[in-house]
Amino acid sequence: MKNEAFSESIEMYLKTVSELADSEDLVPISALAERLGVSTVSATEMVHRLKKQDLLEHLPYKGVSLTVHGGRRACRVIRRHRLWERFLVDYLGLPWEKVHDYACRLEHATDTAVTEALAIFLDNPRTCPHGNPIPSPDGEMPDISDIPLIQMQPGDRGIISRIHPESILLLDYLAGRDIRPDQPVEFEEIAPFNGPLMVKIGEQTHALGQEIAAHIFVNCEDEVRNDEIA
Amino acid sequence: MKNEAFSESIEMYLKTVSELADSEDLVPISALAERLGVSTVSATEMVHRLKKQDLLEHLPYKGVSLTVHGGRRACRVIRRHRLWERFLVDYLGLPWEKVHDYACRLEHATDTAVTEALAIFLDNPRTCPHGNPIPSPDGEMPDISDIPLIQMQPGDRGIISRIHPESILLLDYLAGRDIRPDQPVEFEEIAPFNGPLMVKIGEQTHALGQEIAAHIFVNCEDEVRNDEIA
DNA sequence: GAAGTTTATAAGGTTGTCCTAATAATATAG
DNA sequence: CTATATTATTAGGACAACCTTATAAACTTC
């Protein structure tokens, strides 16, 4: 079983499918293309190549999902990414909202030996600075049970657990408003006609667009969860 | 003046020219090609591209040299490389002889902001673990005045200053014999007919081939240097 | 200065990743 | 069920970086 030897492009595709997959099972190729900043034609082309390598499956007109094999590869990339983020924030003192992009480059240039030595140096952190869990060395993603802010009900309270999926624009926006993991949240109300969500975070009440609210995950206070009815 | 935006290939070419240049002013394209593991045709092609970008000059049938511009770019890559090496050895505890290869990958994936934060974290080290000086942030290479072991005279003593240029095979060989910077050396004799050099390093006497001896640099003990007559 | 080596260039190809534009197939909504 | 959307495919290219083979030019040495 040969290791390494995956191009940066392939790693980006696998990582992105994995990131987009945990909201929905099947990731539309268009979503993939958009997040990667390539045309749908290019994305389709690459999907075919990855399918041939048994890294993902494709249900035409529905979307793609990772195979077990592909999922493990993706998790290894994500592990490297999140470990680097921890290092960049905790040891190099770089800004929370910038390190995602820096780590996006480092993640493709890191040998397994370096990754694991880094993990030990960092004392095996559980999450990245944005709250996302760090997969195990063999490519297993820890289970989590938080919910996106947008699924909260008026009156619900909780603690921000993570920002996901990340992007520089989103993180910049949130950093400017001091919206980060570990902050307490209280969902106040949602404006009608698909309007913004009014949410109290820390001391401040924010009007958050629905898109943004889908990227903020929360550990709700002890209460019956009703995912379906939401 | 735009920064970044240099392909990994271009960075490798510039770095390699810089590494090979300090032995001789002009680097033959064949030497460049060999060290990069590409054909001379490919190297020639790339040299033309780099010439067009004013990164290096080419005297046909003689060799190439970096322009001021190209030299600065090369030094920035080398700076990143050597800082990473220090981190990998000093903080991650990775083996001296392996980190060169790990850093070769990281050096192309490191933003300036990360590089400078890393330099501060490492407390601005003067050299890499193999003894080579770390260029300044703006791309200036410190002056050094050591000589290759092969230029020593029988009876000369000194301290190993650095291994240069580095390669995994060379470093593995030297690591196996505990030949590293800061070790004392005493040149005993050179075998006739271009034979090996007999050199006492630490407590042990080694028979070193001339190729290897050209890669080991030494700070000689206070005495008149006679580069020419050598 | 001719012979042989080194270096350079020219011609033609491959691979990976990307593109646009046009068309075809399917899904979804009125 | 038809119209509109989305999704997929086909065709034709572009580009960077590599390759081999073959030829030409320049250097070096005797």
pLDDT given at position A193: 76
Nucleotide closest to residue B36 (CA–C1'): D18
Tell me, what CATH number does B44's domain have? 1.10.10.10
Specify the pLDDT at position B158: 95
Asked if residue B79 belongs to a domain, the reply is: no
All residues of chain B having their beta carbon less than 8 Å from the beta carbon of residue A113 are: 94, 98, 102
Task: Tell me which H or E stretch contains A217.
Answer: strand A216-220
In a domain, A59, yes or no: yes
Contact A134, A144 (CB under 8 A): no
Q: Chain B residue with minimal CA distance to A84?
A: B114
Residue A30 domain boundaries: 8-69
Nucleotide nearest to B31 (CA to C1'): C7
Q: How far is CA A116 from the centre of its chain?
A: 21
**Cβ proximity of A37 and A12 under 8 Å:** no
Contacts 24+ apart (CB under 8 A), A30-35: A31/A63, A32/A64, A35/A165
Which residue from B minimizes the CA distance to A104? B109
Which candidate, A184, A166, A19, A183, places its Cα nearest to that of A97? A166
Domain-embedded: residue A27: yes
Would you say residue B99 lies in a domain? no
Task: Let me know if residue B115 belongs to a domain.
Answer: no
Is residue B75 situated within a structural domain? Answer: no
Q: Taking the mean position of all CA atoms in its chain, how far away is CA A213?
A: 14
Which of A53, A69, A85 is at the close of a domain? Answer: A69
pLDDT exceeds 70 at position B227 = no
Residues A131, A89: Cα–Cα separation, whole Å: 13
- The domain total for chain B is 2
Which has more pLDDT, A146 or B224? Answer: A146
What average pLDDT does this structure show over A109-130? 98
d(C-alpha B109, C-alpha A108), whole Å: 8
DSSP, collapsed to helix, strand or coil, labels residue B19 as helix
SS3 content of chain A, % helix, strand, coil (to 5): 40, 20, 40
| Contact criterion met (CB below 8 Å) for A130 and A164 | yes
Q: Tell me whether residue A227 is in a domain.
A: no
Which of A20, A43, A69 lies at the terminal end of a domain, its last residue?
A: A69
Residue B194 banded pLDDT, cuts 50, 70, 90: confident
DSSP state of B193: T
Q: Mean pLDDT over all residues of chain A? A: 91
Chain B residues closer than 8 Å to A120 by CB? 92
* CATH number for the domain that contains residue A189: 2.30.30.90
Q: Is residue A65 one of the residues assigned to a domain?
A: yes
Q: Which amino acid is at A107?
A: E
CA dist A140 and A103 (Å) reads 20
* B105 in reach of chain A (CB within 8 A): yes
**For residues A224 and A147, what is the distance between their CA atoms, to the nearest angstrom?**
13
Confidence of residue B222 (pLDDT cuts 50, 70, 90): low
* Spatial distance between the Cα atoms of B203 and B187, rounded to a whole number of angstroms: 13
CA of B59 to C1' of D7 (A): 55
Cα–Cα distance between B112 and B114 in angstroms, integer?
5
Q: DSSP characters for A58-107?
A: EETTTEEEE-HHHHHHHHHHHHHHHHHHHHHHHTT---TTTHHHHHHHHT
pLDDT score recorded for residue A213: 92
Element (H, E) at A39: none
User: Do B218 and B185 contact (CB within 8 A), yes or no?
Assistant: yes
Give tens-digit pLDDT for B23-36: 668 999 999 999 99
Looking at residue B170, its pLDDT comes to 95
Q: Does B9 score more than 70 pLDDT?
A: yes
| Tens digits of residue pLDDT in B145-183 | 899 998 899 999 999 999 999 999 999 999 999 999 999
* Reported confidence tier of residue A223, pLDDT bands at 50, 70, 90: low
Does residue B210 carry a pLDDT above 90? no
B33-86 pLDDT, tens digit each: 999 999 999 999 999 999 999 999 999 889 999 999 999 999 999 999 999 999
Q: Which of B21, B46, B69 finishes a domain? A: B69
3-state secondary structure of A204: strand
A51-75: per-residue pLDDT in tens?
Answer: 989 999 999 888 999 999 999 999 9
Q: Indicate if the pLDDT at residue B214 is higher than 80.
A: yes
Tell me the DSSP string of B65-124.
EE-HHHHHHHHHHHHHHHHHHHHHHHTT---TTTHHHHHHHHGGG--HHHHHHHHHHTT-
pLDDT over threshold 60, residue A2? no
pLDDT given at position A195: 83
